[in-house]
Amino acid sequence: MTNDNYNPEVGKPQMVLNKVAVIEGDITKQQVDAIVNAANEALMPGSGVCGAIHRAAGEGLWEECKKLNGCETGDAKITKGYKLPAKWVIHTVGPVWEGGSYGEDELLAGCYRRCLELAEQHNIRAIAFPAISTGVYAFPLERAAKIAVTEISSFLERNTSVEQVILVCFSKSAYDCYLRVMKEIS
């Protein structure tokens, strides 16, 4: 029997979203191959998640970051994880929120894409992301979460090397927001 309504694309977002988990927690504690750092263009130890990652990784991380010549907004660079449980840290620089008309959405999408490209190049199977730009850089959380989930699922649709993506939320409200967005998009 043929089904004229058959569409192989239906269900695909749901399938790739099975590889995405949302948790509330501290990214520095994640037992994954790589964690993503919401960094600054100088790749200096800062506050927020960046400060926590540098503290947990130890001096070696900052020594390696110094040699990388910084990182542009929307781009990403990779280092070792030093004392972290994760083998790698992927440093990406999210945009500073300036109202939304300065290419912030596309820059943030670029962060997720570049991190996942680096993950693919380094055979990273499990990767954890914080909510890039949503702290000091003040990107609205729900808008950022939609961009994160959209970019991650479109990457997972065309790439099978990354098997697990963990979205690490640092508060219950961020966790609830991500879950809402995941439901909307799936």
Shortest approach of ligand AR6 to residue 57 CB, angstroms? 12
Among 19, 21, 46, 140, binds ligand AR6 (CB under 6 A): 46
64 and 89 Cβ atoms separated by less than 8 Å: no
Cα–Cα distance for residue pair 107/104, rounded to 1 Å: 5
Range 146-175, binding ligand AR6 (CB under 6 A): 168, 170, 174
94 lies in the binding site for ligand AR6 (CB under 6 A):
yes
Shortest approach of ligand AR6 to residue 138 CB, angstroms? 7
Cα–Cα distance for residue pair 170/23, rounded to 1 Å: 9
Tell me whether residue 127 or residue 132 sits nearer to ligand AR6 (CB atom). 132
Among residues 27, 72, 94, which one has the least CA distance to residue 54? Answer: 27
Cα–Cα distance for residue pair 166/22, rounded to 1 Å: 6
Binding segment (CB under 6 A) for ligand AR6, from list 41-49, 58-66, 72-80, 155-163 = 41-49
Among residues 29, 137, 144, which one has the least CA distance to residue 93? Answer: 137
Using the Cα atoms of residue 71, residue 120, residue 111 and residue 87 in order, give the sign of their dihedral: negative
Shortest approach of ligand AR6 to residue 108 CB, angstroms? 9
Binding-site ranges for ligand AR6 (CB under 6 A): 26-28, 38-40, 46-50, 52, 94, 130-137, 168, 170, 174
